[in-house]
Amino acid sequence: MNPILQASLPALRRDEFASDFRWGCSTSSYQIEGATGEDGRGESIWDRFCAQPGRIRDCSSGAVACDHYHRWPQDLDLAQSLGVNAYRFSIAWPRVLPQGRGAVNAAGLDFYERLVDGMLTRGLQPWATLYHWDLPQVLQEQGGWKSRETVAAFLEFTEAVTRRLGDRVKHWITHNEPWCSCFMGYWEGVHAPGETSLQSALQACHHVLLSHGQALPIIRANSAGAQVGITLSLHPILPASDSAADAAAVQRHDGSRNRWFLDPLYGRGYPADMLEMLGELAPRTQAGDLAQIASPMDFLGVNYYFPEIVADAPGLGPVQTRVVERQGVERTAFGWEVSPEGLRDLLSRLQRDYAPEQIFITENGSTYEDILLPDGRVNDAQRLSYLARHLAAMREAIALGVPVRGYFAWSLLDNFEWAEGYARRFGLAYVDYATQARILKASGHWYREFLQR
Ligand code: FCB
């Protein structure tokens, strides 16, 4: 490693963390599997979305992606070679229930069974996410998450998957990032299904949270001793200035990005200030919904990428805030601010305000313009530094008493980055899409050395 870079990295040792700490990497079905038309898989909303011109920056789709559906043994070997003891993956609903509900596609479940057995043989603890955004298209045609019927369909999916895998998978995440699946999908229109109504997004989000709460007892019944949680995308929210108006903007923005999910999950219902602001747009709920959403979980999954700096913006959107770019700060190629201290502060805040029993960082990572050098190396010094500094920030949070029990790097492989297509690489391993070769980047080598030192 470059000596200057080496000198600027925090000193870190694996044995500073608990011996049962979970070290892993994260992936998701649509982003890596490919094989979208094989073995009876049904269409997902992402297949449909990608087929619409202008939706995906490079006009690509997950049809082939990393071809993980065929190359999974090699990918699990790669994960194992890093020295991780856990592996997070997601299960494509349309592979299991091609029609969304009803008939189970045995070949779909067989695939995940082979995958899970492959993890167990390699000493990788399986961490399964049930919903990482690939809703069956047939359900979308009946309203998708806007419809309360989709909650019932999700429970059928949960039942089928956990009945088959619950003896071997003991760590379950119901949903990945409801903010993204609902607000980017149903309001901003930049993710599938590409709708643009805030009211729809709020209703969809209510159903997603409800489906989480109702799935918990099913998972526990089919997977004795399982640990179950949800993964949220969370951000520290900071004011653009020290004005009272910006302080109030922080409050509102935090209400939409963080509290809207955390408050109901931790038994406080939807935040009163937000409900008041939303008025008629607030989701329709039924008696008992909020109690189900607040069913106790075993852990909170936190995906952390960047903080948001906000200013008061009267008249702008329902929350009347504007996200401001701090000047002179480090950013990834996505433009996301690099802030390891943001991770520490977010974790402390979660502990202070919600006191989850356990926290797992289920995603954290960065994208840069990686170059495959003629000698076959990818020298991603910036990602390496990002990773090391975020681990150091996590160590600080643990020292402050936050019960962080595991860390999953996003991602094992470069993959299909949703609306950005293949333009954004987040992997510890570079994927040469022309040959499907995987090449461990310098950051991957560093993670391996850290884990095996
Ligand atoms: C998160 C998603 C994940 C990946 C990363 C970069 O929001 O959960 O699938 O796209 O961002």
Q: Give, for all 453 residues of the chain, the pLDDT tens digit.
A: 676 677 789 999 999 999 999 999 999 999 999 999 999 999 999 999 999 999 999 999 999 999 999 999 999 999 999 999 999 999 999 999 999 999 999 999 999 999 999 999 999 999 999 999 999 999 999 999 999 999 999 999 999 999 999 999 999 999 999 999 999 999 999 999 999 999 999 999 999 999 999 999 999 999 999 999 999 999 999 999 999 999 999 999 999 999 999 999 999 999 999 999 999 999 999 999 999 999 999 999 999 999 999 999 999 999 999 999 999 999 999 999 999 999 999 999 999 999 999 999 999 999 999 999 999 999 999 999 999 999 999 999 999 999 999 999 999 999 999 999 999 999 999 999 999 999 999 999 999 999 998
Which residue has 């189970």 as its token pair?
104
State in Å: Cα 114 to ligand 1 middle. Answer: 25
Grouping H, G, I as helix, E, B as strand and the rest as coil, residue 174 is: strand
- Tell me how long the chain is: 453
Name all residues whose Cβ lies below 6 A of ligand 1. 28, 31, 176-177, 180, 233, 303, 363, 410, 417-418, 426
State in Å: Cα 57 to ligand 1 middle. Answer: 16
CA distance 220 to 211: 14
Where are the strands (E) in 34-113, listed by range? 86-90
Name residue 182's beta-bridge partners: none
Q: Are 226 and 172 in contact (CB under 8 A)?
A: yes
CA distance 308 to 335: 12
Q: Are 261 and 178 in contact (CB under 8 A)?
A: yes
Determine the atom of ligand 1 nearest the C-alpha atom of 426. 6
CA distance 401 to 351: 8
User: Which pLDDT score, from 0 to 100, does residue 453 have?
Assistant: 84
Nearest to 182 by CA among 164, 197, 160, 163: 197
Determine the atom of ligand 1 nearest the C-alpha atom of 180. 7
State in Å: Cα 280 to ligand 1 middle. Answer: 31
Using alpha carbons, list the distances in angstroms from residue 258 to 116, 128, 197, 350.
Answer: 32, 23, 20, 10
User: Which pLDDT score, from 0 to 100, does residue 203 have?
Assistant: 99
Buried/exposed code over 371-387 (b: 16+ C-beta within 10 A; e: otherwise): eeeeeeebbbbbbbbbb
User: Which pLDDT score, from 0 to 100, does residue 8 have?
Assistant: 85
Grouping H, G, I as helix, E, B as strand and the rest as coil, residue 172 is: strand
Spell out the domains of the chain, with CATH numbers in brackets: 14-452 (3.20.20.80)
Residues annotated as part of the active site: 177, 363
Q: Are 30 and 92 in contact (CB under 8 A)?
A: yes
Using alpha carbons, list the distances in angstroms from residue 271 to 157, 199, 286.
Answer: 30, 16, 17
Nearest to 282 by CA among 357, 343, 199, 358: 199
Where are the strands (E) in 11-56, listed by range? 22-26
Nearest to 42 by CA among 122, 119, 107: 107
Q: Atom 4 of ligand 1 has which residue's CA nearest to it?
A: 417
Neighbour count for residue 16 (Cβ, 10 Å): 13
State in Å: Cα 15 to ligand 1 middle. Answer: 29
CA distance 345 to 87: 26
Q: What are phi and psi for residue 195, nearest 5 degrees?
A: -95, 165
Pseudo-torsion of CA 304, 306, 312, 313, nearest 10°?
Answer: -100
User: Whole-prediction pTM value?
Assistant: 0.98
Angle (CA) 173 34 145, round 5°: 45
Ligand 1: residue of 89, 176, 182, 418 to mutate (most ligand atoms within 8 A of CB) is 418
